Amino acid sequence: MPCWVLTDYHHVRTVLSDRRFSADVRQPGFPFLSPGRRELVGEQPSFLRLDDPEHQRLRRMMTGDFLVKRIEQLRPRIQRIVDEALDAMIAKGQPADLVADFAFPVPSLVICELLGVPYDDHEYFQELSRRLLDSTAGPGAVAEALDALTDYMAQLAASKKGEPDGIVARLATRDDLTPEEVASNSVLLLLAGHETTANMTSLSVLALLQNPDQLARLRAEPELTRGAVEELLRYLTIVHNGLPRTALEDVEFDDGLQIRAGEGVLVMLGAANRDEELFGDGDRLDIGRDARRHLAFGFGVHQCLGQPLARVELQIALATLLRRLPELRLAIPFEDVRFRTSALIYGLHELPVAW
Ligand code: HEM
């Protein structure tokens, strides 16, 4: 289907923060990247794909769980999870696959604990989420994976109703949510909570290994970790396929660009994050630059709910990995690294490393 592809930083920010652009998948003209993507929505869209006031009503039920203050309290627990994953990877011996042995287990375990999802089921839900996020998967395959994941979550939620701990139990216990709303929004948190940070972690390690000067600087100055994580978020921009929106009214931008009511728009975060005025020499990874105005977490009302959690996980994972494995290196030639080019969230299939 025809749609606009916006790459300019100011256009991208305007679309994401202007109520005249809708994130509701049910709008006619909503741009889907493929027939499979249309199926990803399911019958009950999560708040990611709804507009206010429905979006706000649901999002508000979870904002407290992801506030910076709340997530900061989890630092010791996340540090322990990171250390244990590293202990296990080291004990298994080298070469190891950093994706399967470190990057996925850490955020998966963290989000499972927050939601109250049994981590023992991780192979099942990780496989389903891989299928769901593959942009080349056909509509049948996506619908099947979404149904399976939604059923899994609905059963879990039903069994947790009335229990005191975990986000799923809390949502299931509310009487202003339907079981379908509980399942669909819990699936969103489970998917968004592990796929993103996992892929950011492995890509960040690869980017640092490919930029030895930046890696050496970060090892020498670990106090740069927070800024380095922001720069890696900008440089890698793993939500790389364009955020979809539909214009509800005719819109004219400051520079004269006109988008008509009903037209679909894809906003490209990766292009905006290489805006030359804001991030000069944007193709260069520079952990010392001020990258805070990047749009890797989106912008406006749908800006990533989990960003405080993603930041803390990435800061702890990278700092701990560099500290504990000073000789970390790729175990295969860079040319043989396999990228998840066809996934909605960019990443690596595997990252063989030695130390
Ligand atoms: C939304 C990126 C980690 C939960 C978003 C959006 C982006 C994004 C770009 C906006 C989508 C849109 O406007 O259409 C990322 C990146 C992450 C990350 C790059 C990691 C590096 C997480 C984590 C969670 C999470 C750990 C934890 C649960 C969500 C949710 C939304 C969202 C619930 C929907 C917010 C809304 O519609 O109001 N994320 N995310 N994300 N993210 Fe993240």
∠ CA 179-114-178, nearest 5°, is 10
Q: Relative to the CA of 303, which ligand 1 atom is closest?
A: 10
Q: What is the pLDDT of residues 48-82, one digit of tens each?
A: 999 999 999 999 999 999 999 999 999 999 999 99
Question: Does residue 291 line the site of ligand 1, with CB under 6 A?
Answer: no
Question: Does residue 62 line the site of ligand 1, with CB under 6 A?
Answer: no
What is the pTM for the complete model shown? 0.96
Question: Does residue 172 line the site of ligand 1, with CB under 6 A?
Answer: no
What's the total number of domains in the chain?
1
Q: What is the pLDDT of residues 165-180, one digit of tens each?
A: 899 999 999 999 999 9
Average the pLDDT over each of 160-164, 183-187, 294-298, 308-312 and give the range with the smallest value: 160-164
Q: In the prediction, which pLDDT does 293 show?
A: 96
- Cβ-proximal residues to 302 (8 Å cutoff; 6+ apart), any chain: 16, 23, 48, 55, 243
**Exposure pattern of 75-99 as b/e (b: 16+ CB <10 Å)?**
eeebeebbeebbeebeeeeeebbbb
Q: In the prediction, which pLDDT does 142 show?
A: 86
Q: What is the mean pLDDT of residues 192-196?
A: 92
Would you say the ipTM is above 0.90? yes
- Secondary structure (H, E, C), 69-131: HHHHCCHHHHHHHHHHHHHHHHHHCCCEEHHHHHHCHHHHHHHHHHHCCCHHHHHHHHHHHHH
Question: Does residue 47 line the site of ligand 1, with CB under 6 A?
Answer: yes
Q: In the prediction, which pLDDT does 130 show?
A: 86
Question: Does residue 198 line the site of ligand 1, with CB under 6 A?
Answer: no
Ligand 1: centre distance to CA 326 (Å): 32
Q: In the prediction, which pLDDT does 96 show?
A: 98
Q: In the prediction, which pLDDT does 256 show?
A: 95
pLDDT over 90, % of the chain: 86
Most confident of 134-138, 211-215, 344-348: 211-215
Q: What is the pLDDT of residues 201-214, one digit of tens each?
A: 999 999 999 999 99
Q: In the prediction, which pLDDT does 32 show?
A: 86
Ligand 1: centre distance to CA 312 (Å): 14
Pair of tokens at residue 343: 């996934």
- pLDDT grade, residue 102 (50/70/90)? very high
Ligand 1: centre distance to CA 297 (Å): 6
153: containing domain: 4-354
Question: Does residue 200 line the site of ligand 1, with CB under 6 A?
Answer: yes
Q: In the prediction, which pLDDT does 1 show?
A: 82
Protein residue with least CA distance to atom 30, ligand 1: 305
Question: Does residue 98 line the site of ligand 1, with CB under 6 A?
Answer: no
Give the helix, strand, coil percentages of the chain, each rounded to 5.
55, 10, 35
Strand-pairing partners, residue 258, are 252
CATH code: domain of residue 127: 1.10.630.10
| pLDDT over 80 at 40, yes or no | no
Question: Does residue 23 line the site of ligand 1, with CB under 6 A?
Answer: yes
For the chain, the average pLDDT equals 95
More confident residue, 20 or 130: 20
- pLDDT grade, residue 21 (50/70/90)? very high
Dist. CA 269–CA 229, nearest whole Å? 17
Dist. CA 157–CA 163, nearest whole Å? 10
Q: In the prediction, which pLDDT does 36 show?
A: 75
